[in-house]
Amino acid sequence: MSNEDRFLPVLDDGLDEPAPVCSPKIYVSNEEAALLAAMRGLRERSLELRRELKGVKTDDRARLETEIDELRVQWKTLAKRREEAFRQKMIMLGHLPPNQPVTR
């Protein structure tokens, strides 16, 4: 048996499109996408504040730390909303019953 005999033949359909695959695509709802974008913005702002915090004197330090704490609270709120949006999506797709709680 030669090397070429061990492989299945490749069929060329003449199209430039990729072949269909069996694995499902990840679907993100519009609500989830908006929440993730907001969370990304919070993260970027947090990184900016942390960079500023490294080279700042004590007067501005408290203000920056307070702003970072506020961003953490906003992050937690958005994370809860994202989990709820994910749960709602799973209910709409029929993967969860309507009364299924979100568990971590």
2 — alpha (psi -120 to 50), left (phi > 0) or beta? Answer: beta
Contact 71, 45 (CB under 8 A): yes
Per-residue pLDDT of the chain (104 residues; tens, 9 = 90+): 555 556 555 545 555 666 555 546 668 889 999 999 999 999 999 999 999 999 887 778 989 999 999 999 999 999 999 999 998 888 888 888 887 665 65
Give the per-residue pLDDT at 59: 78
Counting Cβ atoms within 10 Å, is residue 35 exposed (0-12), middle (13-18) or buried (19+)?
Answer: buried
Give the per-residue pLDDT at 6: 60
pTM of the shown model = 0.68
